[in-house]
Amino acid sequence: MCGRYATSRSAGDLSALFESSDETGDAVGPDFNVAPTDPVPLVRLAPEGHRLLSVGRWGLVPHWSRSAAGAARMINARAETVATSRAYAPSFARRRCLVPADGWYEWVRDPDGRRQPYYMTPVDGSVLAFAGIWSVWEPAGAALLTFSVLTTAAVGELAEVHDRMPLLLPRERWASWLGPADEPAALLAPPAPEWLAGLEIRPVSPAVGDVRNDGPALTARVPLAREEDVTEMTLF
């Protein structure tokens, strides 16, 4: 799954990177420890067809839901079933979005039982785009924009950290993800190994495990506790 990530770019930077107009106002700020139900930026298509930078709450609430109480369990949608799931299929068919990120976190339990967090991020510092789907929930007329991040089977060395990973979209796939769902299978394909080779798997501080912690120090490389574990993890 993808249950924690970082997004630090400003609304202006994201609007430029994703060639989108901005409706976020002052609602976008750096967050190095995004957790379920947090409000974060996403890019979707406006009704007029142009890209729109919006703020959505992480954890999709289907429009028919009576309550938003289960949103924290709806942060991820599996690529294998998103097109047929009652909760996710309508959004996959008509409401796909890009979720900007600097990188994401996963935890690995070592032989001593300690949980070591790792941060997956582009080596060159470029932006990531997670494949997402969105919906608007309108209890008593108050519209709430919510979203889920799609996950797929982890590829290569990423599978040593977790068996799932976010569905990552290279820049050349942004337009097709946001456009008509003419070929669903192609939309849900994982990125090529050559593209994934640009990611690093970075050990980071256990402080990221507390959602109250924030700041760029959470993404900084730290030495591993056991000497035999201190090996550079690079993809492919």
Q: Check if 172 is active-site.
A: no
- Identify the H or E element spanning 202: strand 199-203
The angle at the Cα of 14, spanning 10 to 16, to the nearest 5 degrees, equals: 120
Instruction: Spot the catalytic one: 2, 97, 157, 160.
Output: 2
Q: Are 204 and 106 in contact (CB under 8 A)?
A: no
User: Which has the closest alpha carbon to 39: 99, 95, 126?
Assistant: 99
Q: Check if 2 is active-site.
A: yes
The dihedral region occupied by 126, where left means phi > 0, alpha psi between -120 and 50, and beta the remainder, is: beta
User: Which has the closest alpha carbon to 23: 57, 58, 54?
Assistant: 54
Contacts of 210 (CB under 8 A, 6+ apart): none
Contacts of 67 (CB under 8 A, 6+ apart): none
Instruction: Spot the catalytic one: 48, 97, 106, 172.
Output: 106
Catalytic residue set? 2, 106
